[in-house]
Amino acid sequence: MSKYTKGPWEMKVEEQRIRIGGELIKEHYGKNLKYPRQRVIGETFGIDEEGLANARLISAAPELLEACKQVLPILIQYTPNKVGTLKQLKQAIAKAEE
């Protein structure tokens, strides 16, 4: 599994951009930072309805991945006839973790 920034990720609307940030970084290249800062996950310039929707989706990614991983075994057990849906869910999880 790839290592990604721990959630939760936060969405912040700034002057002309939307920034998605994760955990606090306390060191950079092995040196302690005087002022810890938030790791930037993504950023979009211009604030509009689509940009806000994209930022909300990105900021929800860690929770969505965890929810998918928790529900998959239940779905396999109780809905084995939904092969296409299960395959799609497995592929989405694999895409996030490759």
Q: Considering only CA atoms, which of 90, 88, 61, 60 is closest in space to residue 73?
A: 90
Beta bridge partners of 24: 38
Q: What is the pTM of this model?
A: 0.77
Q: Considering only CA atoms, which of 96, 7, 3 is closest in space to residue 60?
A: 7
Q: What is the pLDDT of residues 60-89, one digit of tens each?
A: 999 999 999 999 999 988 887 788 889 999
The 10 Å Cβ neighbour count of residue 12 is 13
- Identify the residue whose tokens are 């609307």: 13
- Indicate the domain borders of the chain: 1-59, 62-98
Q: What is the pLDDT of residues 18-74, one digit of tens each?
A: 988 887 777 767 777 777 677 888 888 878 899 899 999 999 999 999 999 999 999
